């Protein structure tokens, strides 16, 4: 079958890695896929849409995506996100009597800080599932939420990673630490970009690190990532808290992430108890566990249901997090490895069966 897969996001969005994975699965199954992404770096195998972070930039990007929806030859339009930026593409495809899928990996409206954006996204998140032919998502909480609006029951395609890439056997921890100039340190990490969805709860981790630094002089927090609207605010917070041992790597290709994780002794995650976190599955959590890092923090929703037993969990406060971090650094609370479980259920190849069944069902 012929797919036009449109992702209005860019590499700093976690959903982009999901979109790329879904696209690869379709291609591996022999489907003809044209993949569209905003501001793609090299453009190889991708139709890159230039999209500045401004109203005029979003309008121009949306018009180009709509033109592709109008002129491209496809059987199914697959949209990443029920965003206002994808509504026009959906309408054009339906007028052309094409089938439309949409993948929703969280409720983006809950992450918006501006009222207009929040209202627009809430409207599209409620309305678009009524109009498309199939909705896909990656967790039961969001599936249940969407059942009241979607034309048919949303299909779960789990959150996926490439476990052959996120494999600790490819790396030597001490060698990777030395490459980063972190030899002799106990390296704690946070993985993500400085967007609201990815790092909205990072302030709790930074507050906890102030206490950890006071109690353990050999620790360093490695923030693997960068870019996004919150980076300046978080750099200011790091300075205001007086944190001395924090390093921000900056944005990097996904293939470089496992090497940095391999240099770490612990992965940190913190998900406050709110609807936005409940309706998501933490990608960073899966990547930590695939690399067999001890994970410390607080989880909720599907992330907690599936992976909580593999983590050292704490109450939702900076002090509780700091206590758990120090406890694990001193050798406490070991947990069983989650890697075999992830390979069986969350590797992209294992996930392909769910996608295959859905596409076969929709075939003419």
Tally of domains in the chain? 2
Please, what is the average pLDDT of the chain? 92
Tell me how many degrees the CA angle 348-353-357 measures, rounded to the nearest 5.
140
The SS3 of residue 135 is strand
Name the strand (E) or helix (H) holding 79.
Answer: strand 76-80
Q: What percent of the chain has pLDDT over 90?
A: 78
Q: Which residue would you say has higher pLDDT here, 198 or 143?
A: 143
Instruction: State whether 340 and 325 are in the same domain.
Output: yes
How far is residue 208's CA from residue 202's CA, in Å, rounded to a whole number?
A: 10
Q: Largest Cα–Cα distance in the chain?
A: 64
Asked whether residue 317 falls in the same domain as residue 358, the answer is no
Domain of 221, in residue numbers:
168-344
Q: Give residue 363's pLDDT.
A: 58
In degrees and rounded to multiples of 5, residue 75 shows phi and psi of -95, -35
- Residue 185 and residue 91 in one domain: no
Nearest to 5 by CA among 72, 83, 95: 72
Q: For residue 180, with 0-12 CB atoms within 10 Å meaning exposed, 13-18 middle and 19 or more buried, which class applies?
A: middle
pLDDT of 275 > 80? The answer is: yes
Extract the runs of DSSP E, i.e. beta strands, from 169-306. Answer: 186-191, 219-224, 246-248, 266-270, 295-298
Q: How confident is the model at residue 83 (pLDDT cuts 50, 70, 90)?
A: very high
Indicate if 15 and 122 belong to the same structural domain: yes
Residues 156 and 299 in one domain: no
**Rounded-to-integer distance, Cα 364 and Cα 56, Å:** 39
Per-residue confidence (pLDDT) for residue 150, from 0 to 100: 85
Kindly tell me the burial class for residue 169, based on how many C-beta atoms sit within 10 Å of its own C-beta (0-12, 13-18, 19 or more).
Answer: exposed
**Together in a domain, 138 and 72:** yes
Q: Is 181 exposed, middle or buried (0-12, 13-18, 19+ CB in 10 A)?
A: exposed
At residue 345, does pLDDT exceed 90? yes
How many other CB atoms sit within 10 Å of the CB of residue 294?
A: 20
Most confident of 48-52, 194-198, 351-355: 48-52
282 and 267 housed in the same domain = yes
Calpha distance 232→187 (Å, rounded): 23
Average pLDDT over residues 263-273: 96
Check whether residue 106 and residue 206 sit in a common domain. no
Residue 240 CB partners (closer than 8 Å, separation 6+): none
- Regarding whether 243 and 97 lie in a shared domain, the answer is no
CA-CA distance, 135 to 137, in Å (whole number)? Answer: 7
Q: Which residues of 40-62 are buried (b: 16+ CB within 10 A; e: fewer)?
A: beeeeebbbbebeeeeeebeebb
| Secondary structure class of 187 (helix, strand, coil) | strand
Q: Which of 44-48, 53-57, 286-290 has the highest mean pLDDT?
A: 286-290
Average pLDDT of the segment spanning 125-145: 94
297, 258: one domain: yes
Per-residue pLDDT band at 113 (split at 50, 70, 90): confident
| DSSP at 89 | H
198-213, pLDDT tens digit by residue? Answer: 888 999 999 999 999 9
Rounded Cα distance, 20 and 3, in Å: 13
- Looking at residue 331, what is its pLDDT? 86
Whether residues 176 and 321 share a domain: the answer is: yes
Instruction: Tell me: do 196 and 290 sit in the same domain.
Output: yes
CB 209 within 8 Å of CB 323: no
Q: What percent of the chain has pLDDT over 70?
A: 97
The Cα–Cα gap between 82 and 144 comes to 16
DSSP single-letter state for residue 191? E
Is the pLDDT at 101 greater than 60? The verdict is yes
| pLDDT tens-digit series, residues 303-334 | 999 999 999 999 999 999 999 999 999 987 67
CATH of the domain at 197: 3.40.50.2000
Q: How far apart are CA 347 and CA 341, in angstroms?
A: 9
């Amino acid at each position: 079958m012929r797919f036009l897969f449109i992702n209005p996001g860019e590499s700093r969005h976690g959903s982009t890695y999901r979109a790329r994975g879904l696209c690869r699965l379709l291609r591996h199954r022999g489907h003809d896929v044209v993949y569209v992404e905003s501001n793609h770096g090299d453009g190889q195998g991708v139709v890159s849409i230039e999209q500045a972070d401004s109203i005029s930039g979003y309008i121009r990007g949306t018009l180009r995506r709509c033109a592709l929806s109008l002129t491209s030859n496809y059987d199914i339009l697959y949209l990443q996100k029920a965003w206002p930026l994808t509504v026009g593409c959906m309408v054009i495809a339906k007028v052309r009597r094409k089938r439309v899928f949409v993948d929703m990996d969280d409720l983006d409206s809950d992450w918006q800080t501006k009222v207009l954006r929040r209202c627009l996204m809430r409207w599209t998140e409620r309305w678009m599932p009524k109009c498309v032919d199939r909705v896909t998502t990656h967790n039961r909480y969001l599936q249940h939420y969407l059942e009241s609006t979607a034309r048919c029951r949303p299909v779960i395609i789990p959150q996926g990673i490439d476990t052959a890439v996120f494999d600790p056997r490819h790396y030597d921890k001490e060698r990777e630490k030395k490459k980063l100039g972190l030899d002799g340190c106990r390296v704690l990490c946070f993985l993500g970009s400085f967007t609201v969805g990815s790092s909205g709860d990072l302030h709790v981790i930074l507050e906890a690190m102030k206490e950890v630094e006071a109690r353990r002089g050999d620790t360093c927090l490695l923030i693997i990532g960068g870019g996004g609207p919150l980076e300046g605010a978080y750099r200011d917070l790091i300075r205001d808290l007086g944190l001395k041992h924090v390093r921000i790597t900056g944005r990097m290709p996904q293939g470089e992430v496992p090497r940095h994780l391999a240099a770490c002794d612990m992965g940190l995650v913190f998900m406050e108890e709110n609807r936005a976190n409940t309706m998501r599955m933490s990608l960073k959590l899966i990547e930590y566990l695939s690399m067999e890092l001890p994970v410390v923090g607080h989880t909720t929703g599907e992330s907690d249901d599936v992976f909580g037993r593999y983590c050292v969990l704490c109450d939702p406060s900076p002090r509780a997090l700091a206590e758990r971090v120090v406890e694990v650094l001193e050798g406490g609370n070991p947990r069983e490895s989650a890697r075999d479980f992830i390979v069986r259920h969350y590797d992209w190849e294992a996930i392909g069966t769910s996608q295959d069944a859905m596409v076969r069902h929709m075939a003419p």
